[in-house]
A and B are shown apart, each in its own frame.
Chain A
Amino acid sequence: MKRRPVLALAALLAPLLATGVPAFAAGTTLTVGAAVFPDSLRPGVSSYASLSLLQQTNDPLLARDNRGDLHPALATSWEAIDPTTMRFHLRQGVTFSDGVPFTADDVVFSINRVMDPTTGYAYMSRIGQVQSTTAVDKYTVDIKTKTVFPTLLRGLSDIIIEPKHYYEKVGADAVASHPVGTGPFVFQEWVPGDNYALTANKNYWGGAPHFDNLLIRTIPDGSTRVASLVAGESQIIEEVPVDLIDQVNESGSAKVDEISTTVGLVLTFDPTIKPFDNPRIREAFDYAIDKPLILKQILKGQGEILQGQVLTKGVLGWNPDLKARPYDPAKARKMLQDAGYDFNTPVPITTQNGKYVSDTDICNAVAGMLNQIGVKATVNIVEGGVFQQMSNAQKLGVLYMIGWYSLGDADFASVWYTKAGYRTKWVDPEYEQLFVAARSTTSEAERVKDYHRMMEILDQQNPSIFLFGLPSLYGVSNDITGFGASADKLLRLTQVRLK
């Protein structure tokens, strides 16, 4: 740097003179205030939040809608040709934004890339049972799995299809800094940590968007995000803080749109730490928590109380016969005393801040309620990176709060209570057996029966305290129509119209 002062100076001045306003050509612009912004556009490497950006430029084979139902995207139809092989018929006449036609080669390339361990694709496990992918002809692909794999279709909805020719031409790094895809929008500019600018894909196979430019800005702070919506700087914001719902609705310029998600927020015990190996003590904790009060006061009635299971209402495998335990602090205290619980045991509850709706608020309220019956509960807030590290080392402590997405199928959430899931140290042989059985059959009735029994085991054994099914809250300006809150937090903007 010192050796080439002139060059350095020029490089220094260039970003200084740049204004930071994306150079959109004329036209209408939709601005979105994002709560969580991904760190990069590198598919599969960054957090789940990147999927919301990546799916603007790239399509999966099957796409979910706002409620979580699957629809054809780059695959128009599919059928099982044997129990472990699924055949996909691809959409014809689709081109990538650089004009090259989309074919079966791109699908094979994308899935092989995901399965290649050196890629480090974080969502590999979504389609972890895939054995091979082959192109039958230009518009037909067969995906073969190692075993029967009933969640393949759902898993594929998280995997975007990328252009093979482009990777071969410029390499993975260049793709990540300038993605090319078949999606509804075309990449324009990516300013890490600030904004993502796109233009409408006029030739989108699903119909061109009704506005010209899309700007997704990161506004990490909840109240600032609401402020930008109310001030008219953005038309859509993600994750309206629950306490600010009224402020948005009463502003006269925007409304909150709510949808329930499949996230089940739970407090998980480490049963290898005494005395939490005793299921009676875990059950007593459950009685001590006034869930209806938290739902009413902190979540303002948004969301649902989990009924003794990790699954939210309506998910495939949800057990309608189970009920959440009522709030009964006297009983809780009595149970603890009977079990010989030492009330001086420190109970730190580990949680992240801002990862789930009202997470720290709920955690603090729970700690307060446990304090009421004499349990020495405290809240231990850790940052995302640390949480993940503790989680991977399986050292999250006595009690920790986490949300599990089921994405509509019990398999995705129930896996976290198996040994193979590595997320809880609680083990139950019958549960393990049922989980494998449900995964190895394509009969839906069979699977549902297994999941019902698994949920029953969770309810009896209390590896976790099951708290709430969380809502997803979007703030939507009155200046637009056609936007809906999405259960999986991916932005779907093709139907949005600016007034």
Chain B
Amino acid sequence: MAFYVLRRLAFLPLTLLLVAFATFVVLRLTGNPVDIFLDINRTPEQVAALSQRLHLDQPLPMQFLIFLRDLAHGYFGESLQFSGSAAGVVWQRVGATLQLAGAGLGLALVLGVAGGIACAVWRDRAADTVISAVAVAGQSMPSFWLGMLLIEFFALQLHWLPTSGYGDLKHLVLPAVTLAAILLPNFVLITRTAIIELAGEQFVVTGRSKGLSRGRVLITHILPNAVNPVLSFLGIQIGTLMAGSIITETIYAWPGVGRLLINSIFHRDVPVVEASVFFIATTIALANLLVDVLQMLIDPRIRRA
């Protein structure tokens, strides 16, 4: 297993290299940042100074090599719009994003798994039909619209929660719910399917025939085995989670990496875009690895494979 983890870790830089390359190419396609950052009345001296600072005076392949060299030192360059290094600017926002993503994921996981269990236990009854139908409808709802509806109802009509911004727990509620709503339906459906599939398996049927109650079988036989499909699904969903946080942060003016990224793209702040993309990609890759390792720890069958 240690070997597997090492192998995966060895692939991580490769993945990140590809990500870095793609970002670099796309951003160079978008044009010269000097044009954006200097006023039309710029002097040639100003252009030369900024070009040199960004290494734009070098040929493209050389620029990429410089970029890689800096990357190896964890340096993405100086932000063009903020003061300080791009990595530092992104790092300032990481806390807010992890807070939101953590709360959203936690909420989605707990409610989703609970909902899925409820659906499976009362399979094909009213509860199942209602929860599943709501889940599928939830999958179909544009999250920014949901966000606006939540603001209107809970902040404007009821005055229970603040409309937007970052601060105490109250500020976290609506963004977390909005983000959770993106993932929750999938967790319900995947948990439901996993439990129903397991219920047909031999060892469960045997357990039942030994006279164990349904509840007991569920807790001792089914749930431990259902953890794995849910986990593997979780791994896939980390990307969706990060994508969802970009939208959610924009709706609620949440000062996280996602909104920073969108802003930096609009301002063509290349170093910050690269650093944020890198952070997001690394988070996803590491989270996937973590999920895989967890799966192996839980399920010996995967370890052998």
Contact = CB atoms under 8 A, between A and B. Distances in A.
Interface of A: 1, 11-12, 14-16, 18-21, 39-42, 45-46, 117-118, 120, 122-125, 128, 172-173, 176-177, 191-195, 217-221, 223-224, 227-228, 230-231, 233, 383-386, 388-389, 391-393, 421-423
B172 to A, nearest CB: 10
Interface residues of B, number: 56
B169 to A, nearest CB: 9
A172 B84 CA distance: 10
B6 to A, nearest CB: 13
A123 B46 CA distance: 13
A388 B93 contact: no
12 contacts: A1-B74, A18-B95, A117-B43, A120-B49, A193-B255, A217-B253, A220-B250, A231-B155, A385-B265, A385-B268, A389-B268, A392-B35
A385 B164 contact: no
Given A20-B166, A173-B83, A194-B166, A391 B99 contact: no
Q: Which of A21, A195, A227 has the most CB of B within 10 A?
A: A227
A125 B46 CA distance: 12
A122 to B, nearest CB: 5
Given A16-B95, A118-B49, A389-B31, A228 B167 contact: no
B253 A385 contact: no
B35 A191 contact: no
A191 B256 CA distance: 11
Interface of B: 30-32, 35-41, 43, 45-46, 49-50, 74, 79, 81-84, 89, 91-96, 98-99, 148, 151-152, 155-156, 159, 162-168, 171, 250-251, 253, 255, 259-260, 263, 265-269
A-B pairs with lowest CB-CB distance, top 9 = A15-B95, A39-B81, A176-B83, A194-B255, A117-B45, A125-B41, A20-B166, A385-B268, A383-B266
B36 A388 contact: yes
B116 to A, nearest CB: 29
B263 to A, nearest CB: 7
B36 A193 contact: no
A117 B49 contact: yes
Contact of A192 (B30, B43, B89): B89
Nearest to A123: B39
Contacts of B168: 19-21
A233 B31 contact: no
Nearest to B99: A16
Contacts of A421: 40
B35 A389 contact: yes
Given A21-B167, A192-B82, A386-B31, 13 more contacts: A12-B98, A20-B166, A122-B39, A177-B84, A191-B92, A192-B255, A223-B148, A224-B163, A224-B164, A227-B155, A231-B162, A389-B32, A391-B40
B202 to A, nearest CB: 43
A124 B42 CA distance: 9
Contacts of B37: 45, 120
Nearest to A1: B74
B151 to A, nearest CB: 6
A392 B81 contact: no
B159 A39 contact: no
A192 B165 contact: no
